[in-house]
C-alpha cells in the first residue's frame, strides 16, 4: 500500500529515515548543479577565449536563477502543503494543490519566455556585461530562455515527488538530465564547435528529458498523488496558500540573482572583467557546498511537514536536532577545506594564470562565514516545512536583501574591490546567528 510509505514518516527512527530520504535528494541536487558546473568547466577550457566566455556565462547566471526561482513559487510552496495534507490523510487536498501548482508553472513559463525574450539585451548589460562579454552571455541566454517551460516542470514538479518520500524517483529524474548534459556538452561545444551556444542547447535538451520523466511519474500509478485534469483549474484560495509559502524559497533564489547583479556590476566597476570572472568561479564553488545542503534539507523537510501535520511535535524537534548536526558539520568541514586548498577548487574551472591567482587569494575571504551557514539552512527548512510563511520569508530576506546587498554596495567605498568580497562572510555570520535564535525560540513554543 502506498499509504504505508507515508506512515513511516511518523514511526521510523529519525536518523535512519533522514538518511533514507536525504541521501537520494543530496545526490539529485549534486547532479543538478552539474548543469551549470559542467558547462562552466568545459567553457572555461575553450582555447584562447575560455576566460572571457566563462565570464559571459557568469553574467547570464542571474537570468537563469530567476527562471529557476519561479519554479519555487509553485513547487517550493505547494510541495510542503501537499506533504502536510498527506500527514492529515487528505489525499484529495494534496492532489488539488498539485494540480494548481502544475497550472501555475505552465502559465509562468509562457509569461517568462515572452518577457525575457523581449528584454534580454538590456538585462544582460544590467547584469554586468561589457562589450567584450555581451555576445557570449547573449548566445547562452537566447537559447536557454526557449527551454523555460521544461525548467519549470523539471524543478517545480520534482519537489512533489520528494514530498511523498519518493526521493529515489526524484533523484532519477535529475540523473537523467545530468547524464545527458555531461554527454552532450562536449559534443555540442567542441564536436560541433558551437561554444557557448552548444552548452545552452545541451542544457535545454537535458532539462526536457528530466521534465518528461517527472510528468510521466506524477501521472502514473507509482505516485501517491497524481496530476489530474479536474484539479488544474486555478482556485484563488489554494493559489494564495501556495504563493504565501512559496515566496520564501522564491526569494531565496531570486535574490541570489540580485546578488550576482550587484557583485558583477561592482566588480566590473572597481576591478574589471577578470574580477567578474573570479566571482563566476567562486559562486560555482559556493554551489558545491550549498546545493548538497539544499538537497539534504529538501529530503528532511517532508519528515517535518508530515509530523507537524500529524501533531507529532516531538518528532519534529528530534528531526531538527539531527538536521542541525549534519548541516553545521558539513559547512565547517567545507570551510576548512576551502581555507587550506583554495587553488584546488579554482583549477577545476580555469587554466588562466591571472584568474587562478586572484581566486586563490580571495576565495578564503569570500567563504569566511560559511562554517555557520548550516544553521540558517536548517532554520529555513523548518519554517517552510511547517508552513510558517512569514518567518521563512524573513530569513530569506535577511541574509541577502537586508544585509548582503547593502554591504556589497557600501563596503567598496572604503575597501575598494575587496569590500565586495568582505560583504559575504559578514552577511553569512549575522544572518545565521539570527536564524538560529529564531528557530530555537519557535521550537520551544511547540506543544508537547
Q: What is the pLDDT of residue 32?
A: 65
Angle of helix 236-270 versus helix 418-445 axis, rounded to 10: 150
Mean residue pLDDT of the chain comes to 85
Contact 29, 291 (CB under 8 A): yes
97-113 CB burial, b ≥16 within 10 A, e <16: bbbbbbbbbbebbeebb
Helix axis angle for 389-397 and 236-270, nearest 10°, is: 10
CB 58 within 8 A of CB 279: yes
Q: Predicted confidence band at 5 (pLDDT cuts at 50, 70, 90)?
A: very low
- In the chain, % of residues over pLDDT 70: 95
Confidence class for position 1, pLDDT limits 50, 70, 90: very low
Residue 107 confidence (pLDDT) above 70: yes
Helices marked H in 271-312:
273-309
As a residue count, the chain comes to 448
Q: How far is CA 275 from CA 49, 79, 281, 436, 445, in A?
A: 16, 39, 10, 33, 47
25 has pLDDT over 60: yes
Mention every residue, 6+ apart, whose C-beta is less than 8 A from residue 273: 52, 55, 130, 132, 133
| pLDDT reading at 3 higher than 60 | no
pLDDT of 4 reads: 36
Lowest pLDDT segment from 17-21, 55-59, 422-426: 55-59
State residue 175's pLDDT score.
85
Q: What is the mean pLDDT of residues 1-21?
A: 67
If you average pLDDT over residues 308-329, what whole number do you get? 89
Q: How far is CA 315 from CA 304, 415, 443, in A?
A: 8, 48, 12
Q: Which carries the bigger pLDDT value, residue 381 or residue 429? A: 429
Could you report the per-residue pLDDT of 30-72, keeping only the tens digit for each?
776 666 677 777 777 677 666 777 777 778 878 888 888 888 8
DSSP 3-state of 133: coil
Backbone φ/ψ region at 388: left (φ over 0), alpha (ψ -120 to 50), beta: beta
Task: For residues 438 and 442, give the distance between their C-alpha atoms in angstroms, rounded to a whole number.
Answer: 6
pLDDT band at 408 (very low <50, low <70, confident <90, very high): very high
Average pLDDT over residues 84-111: 90
DSSP for 45-81 reads TSTTTHHHHHHHHHHHHHHHHHHHHHHHHHHHHHHHH
Structure pTM?
Answer: 0.70
Quick check: 109 pLDDT over 90? yes
Overall average pLDDT of the 370-377 stretch? 88
Instruction: Tell me which residue of 55, 422, 416 sits closest to 271, measured CA to CA.
Output: 416
When pLDDT is averaged across residues 257-279 and rounded to a whole number, the result is 87
Q: How far is CA 292 from CA 22, 25, 264, 316, in A?
A: 10, 8, 25, 22
Does pLDDT of 9 surpass 90?
A: no
Report whether pLDDT(137) > 70: yes
Amino acid at each position: 500500500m502506498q499509504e504505508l510509505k507515508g506512515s513511516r514518516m511518523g514511526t521510523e527512527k529519525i536518523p535512519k529515515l533522514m538518511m533514507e530520504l536525504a541521501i537520494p535528494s543530496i545526490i539529485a541536487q549534486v547532479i543538478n548543479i552539474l548543469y551549470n558546473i559542467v558547462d562552466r568547466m568545459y567553457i572555461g577550457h575553450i582555447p584562447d577565449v575560455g576566460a572571457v566566455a566563462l565570464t559571459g556565462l557568469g553574467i547570464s547566471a542571474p537570468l537563469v536563477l530567476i527562471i529557476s526561482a519561479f519554479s519555487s513559487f509553485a513547487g517550493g510552496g505547494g510541495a510542503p502543503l501537499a506533504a502536510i495534507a498527506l500527514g492529515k490523510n487528505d489525499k484529495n487536498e494534496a492532489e488539488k494543490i498539485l494540480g494548481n501548482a502544475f497550472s501555475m508553472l505552465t502559465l509562468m513559463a509562457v509569461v517568462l519566455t515572452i518577457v525575457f525574450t523581449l528584454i534580454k539585451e538590456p538585462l544582460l548589460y544590467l547584469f554586468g556585461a561589457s562589450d567584450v562579454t555581451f555576445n557570449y552571455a547573449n548566445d547562452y541566454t537566447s537559447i536557454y530562455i526557449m527551454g523555460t517551460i521544461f525548467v519549470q516542470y523539471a524543478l517545480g514538479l520534482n519537489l512533489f515527488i520528494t514530498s511523498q518520500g519518493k526521493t529515489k524517483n526524484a533523484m532519477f529524474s535529475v540523473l537523467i538530465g545530468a547524464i545527458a548534459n555531461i554527454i552532450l556538452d562536449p559534443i555540442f561545444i567542441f564536436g560541433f564547435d558551437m561554444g557557448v551556444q552548444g552548452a545552452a542547447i545541451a542544457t535545454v535538451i537535458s532539462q526536457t528529458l528530466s521534465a518528461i520523466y517527472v510528468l510521466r511519474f506524477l501521472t502514473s500509478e507509482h505516485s501517491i498523488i497524481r496530476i489530474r485534469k479536474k484539479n488544474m483549474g486555478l482556485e484563488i484560495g489554494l493559489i494564495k496558500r501556495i504563493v504565501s509559502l512559496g515566496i520564501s524559497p522564491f526569494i531565496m533564489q531570486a535574490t541570489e540573482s540580485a546578488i550576482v547583479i550587484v557583485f558583477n556590476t561592482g566588480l566590473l566597476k572597481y576591478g574589471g572583467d577578470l574580477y567578474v570572472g573570479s566571482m563566476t568561479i567562486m559562486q560555482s564553488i559556493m554551489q558545491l557546498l550549498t546545493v548538497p545542503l539544499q538537497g539534504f534539507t529538501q529530503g528532511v523537510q517532508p519528515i517535518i511537514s508530515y509530523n507537524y501535520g500529524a501533531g507529532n511535535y516531538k518528532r519534529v524537534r528530534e528531526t531538527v536536532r539531527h538536521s542541525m548536526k549534519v548541516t553545521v558539520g558539513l559547512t565547517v568541514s567545507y570551510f576548512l577545506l576551502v581555507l587550506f586548498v583554495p587553488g584546488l577548487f579554482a583549477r577545476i574551472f580555469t587554466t588562466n594564470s591571472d584568474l587562478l591567482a586572484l581566486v586563490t587569494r580571495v576565495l578564503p575571504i569570500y567563504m569566511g562565514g560559511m562554517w555557520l551557514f548550516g544553521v540558517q539552512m536548517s532554520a529555513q527548512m523548518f519554517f517552510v516545512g511547517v508552513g510558517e510563511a512569514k518567518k521563512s520569508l524573513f530569513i530569506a530576506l535577511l541574509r541577502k536583501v537586508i544585509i548582503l546587498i547593502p554591504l556589497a554596495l557600501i563596503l567598496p567605498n572604503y575597501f575598494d574591490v575587496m569590500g565586495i568580497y568582505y560583504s559575504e562572510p559578514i552577511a553569512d555570520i549575522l544572518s545565521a546567528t539570527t536564524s538560529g535564535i529564531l528557530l530555537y525560540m519557535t521550537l520551544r513554543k511547540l506543544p508537547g
